[in-house]
Structure 1
Amino acid sequence: MTARLIIQLAALLGGSGVAIGAFGAHGLRKMLEASGRFDTFETAVRYQFYHTLALLAVGILLALRPEMKSLSTTAWLWLGGVIIFSGSLYTLCFTGITKLGAVAPLGGLLLIAGWISLLLAARQI
């Protein structure tokens, strides 16, 4: 994955995070509170944003240090983690399909693996 692609993906995740967060907080707050899922929704948005900023930093680092190709692995892990973790929580909140809660830990494992990947990539600095 190139630095440009990583930064573009961070921009997409950041923009979609703002849109989803605003839609949930303003348009669906009553529904989410009534279902008891507003906290779950906030967790999904928060983790999306944490990893969006981290992904942006990795993209910038890769642009500055293109020889650190292992940062691509970090980016892929975080991207997959956000999609699976936050995506499954969003889907749970909006559909009420509770079985999707069981998928979230897989996304969490990818997020953790991304941080471990970053730790290993930092050996090249």
Structure 2
Amino acid sequence: KKEERAEPVYSKKEATQILGEREIQSVDLPPIVVSPSSVDAKISLPASLDGKILNVNSEYNFTVIDLGLDEGLKEGMVFEVLRQGQLLGKIEVIEIRQEIAACDIIQAVTPFETGDIVRY
């Protein structure tokens, strides 16, 4: 059976003597302030966004639209594709440049054409 050693308990006076007459002091830390970073403030997505299809690549099933980083696009955004008010299908943003974006065609009732409207 192991012998348990009790830790010695010192009074404040004894502790002060052991530490060489130094006073035991509490440490005051400055308050911690948490604030949202500027990156968090830029995460909000646009409420509504309209653009146009610039190009359709049927072979690889993607489109290029006239919206990009300037309009606040993010990868994964899904747009409806419309022609004369009729819903033709949906596209998903996969790659973004300053003024344009490439989008996968994820649903198409009718083939898309250059000039079709895209709406977020």
The TM-score by the shorter chain falls in which range? Answer: under 0.3
Larger RCO (alpha carbons 8 Å, 6+ apart): 1
Bigger Cα Rg? 2
Indicate the structure with greater strand content: 2
TM-score under structure 2 length normalisation: 0.22
TM-score under structure 1 length normalisation: 0.22
